[in-house]
Structure 1
Amino acid sequence: MTDEKNGTTRRGLITTGAMAAALAVTLPALAAQQTSASTTAAAGGKSDGNASGSGMFTVKDGTQIFYKDWGSGQPIVFHHGWPLSSDDWDAQMLFFLSKGFRVIAHDRRGHGRSSQTAVGNEMDTYAADVAELMAHLNIRNAVHIGHSTGGGEVARYVARHGRGRVAKAVLIGAVPPIMLRTAKNPGGIPMDVFDGLRKAVAENRTQFYREFPSGPFYGFNRPGAKVSEAIIDNWWRQGMNGGIKAQYDCIKAFSETDFTDDLKNIEVPTLVLHGEDDQIVPIADSAQLSIKLLRHGTLKTYPGQPHGMCTTHGDVINADLLAFIKA
């Protein structure tokens, strides 16, 4: 039934009412957590259990790292993929905040709102930046979750800096052990593929950052795929917010870094999640090799799911993450 005067439908009003009711329950709960955290911080509480929101942290070489830090409880630290930012974890940040966790995510140097660095755009420095930030926030007993390039960052951080601070780790669609085809890694991706990425970024980054998420990243190039222009726009927005030099350099970091020793040296329980239709980081040369190197690893794969499954299938991934963290 249509109300001609107001141009609305009864169904629309019912839907709007239902949304309002849901928000009325959810938003106050989230706000209460934030208020509690802010109150403690204002009273002089240290940042090891109560977060204040977001901020900038300057690491030892002068680079400013943007981070979000919400809620209280056991910390979960999220590490984003290339060439994105901490905003790529929106669905996970809100979900785990509502479950009573403290959620933290940063923009890697050169990406998002962090300094557009010309140097230090390689995995050792990425991990060292995380180590400085974790020390600054006094983060311990944390679960570190990394997607794609962020999975490599997690592996290197946990192996080299995380002793005594990390409870568990998660690698999602992650680049370890090594993406590049070499004599020791014959199933890897040829160098000319990565050279093609560099060429696309250098010649017309804005066009490439439309094409990449429109196609293989989210599996939108598959027959019958439900394409979301909003998701594509958000990917483009995040990519264009970073610096081209750092993003160009990062291609070498995520493709050529060998994480074999890092994986062998991780002592904490590690969950490896991977989409079986991942066209960006093929599962056969990543997750299926990583699981053989981890001391305490668990592998879970998802038939038909793409590289960007944390966005396209967030409800499924969040549930599996929660089960692992609580186990």
Structure 2
Amino acid sequence: MGIDLPLIWAIIIGFGLMMYVIMDGFDLGIGILFPFISERHDRDTMVNTVAPVWDGNETWLALGGAALLAAFPLAYSVILSALYLPLVVMLLGLIWRGVSFEFRFKAHVAHKPFWDKAFAWGSYVATIAQGVSLGAFINGFEVSGGVYSGDGLDWLSPFSLFTGIGLVAAYALLGSTWLIMKTEGSLQQRMKKLARPIAYLVLLAIVIVSLWTPLSHPDVAARWFSIPNLFFFAPVPLLVLLVTWTIVFTLRRETHAAPFILSLLLVFLGYSGFAISLWPNIIPPSVSIWDAASPGESLGFTLVGALFVIPFILMYTAWSYYVFRGKVRAGEGYH
């Protein structure tokens, strides 16, 4: 039996996207939380917690896009054609957020409120665009003769708008629990108070999406609720409930890293449910990873490069987080 190269590439892309959601999610979450914090020194502290690492977090987005083009060019062409507008909006939001991130440090005091608002708006726009794209992906795309045959606004639906809002809540949870881990004093206590209702909102969003998806897509319902799949997949929703309860429980105690680690686990569980629902289709509802894959020679050649590059990305990412570990204090940086 030969090596299943499309499967390996699907795992690599899935891993890259998961790393992006986790790592860029909490720094987008910081921008999402900006409107709830008015004090200048607290906002500066929030931004300082991600200042050394935020741009490196987006490496995984670039890796995922490049890998999709190399390994599944059919999926790349269809998905980008179908999601052209929300993906462009996402990139504009990320660019605006990046510009405001740097300018708010250098701007005159009178201009800083503008860049604070720009940072928050860029975070909201990028996050909602990502969530809308996710919802549209779950709904699937019309493909005819290997070409996207749908309308330019097919991505816009009540479901995709809801997933956009749901992702805002998920990133806000990651951002608030990250700040609980990285800050102290009044800012940390404020984040604990914010994180509790946000955790419930994330749970509500997961429940609604988990019900809405199978009700709208019979093939997804058959996958989740058929026997023996029901017994295999039942731990996922049970773990979602358990992890959410544990997050809220830990927030009532003197805690630092635990809420963030649990929030990462909650997001991973939501991501795994998404993967279970759509597997093995890379262009829902019917084009599988094997149907959309590049020729075996191309997959093998590019895999060599990927297996060389990815360990270096993991190493420098781990090293940067290790170097900038610890608490961040107002006006003092890392402690």
- Normalized against structure 2, the TM-score is what? 0.26
Higher strand share: 1
- TM-score, length of structure 1 as denominator length: 0.27
State the structure with bigger RCO (CA 8 A, min sep 6), 1 or 2: 2
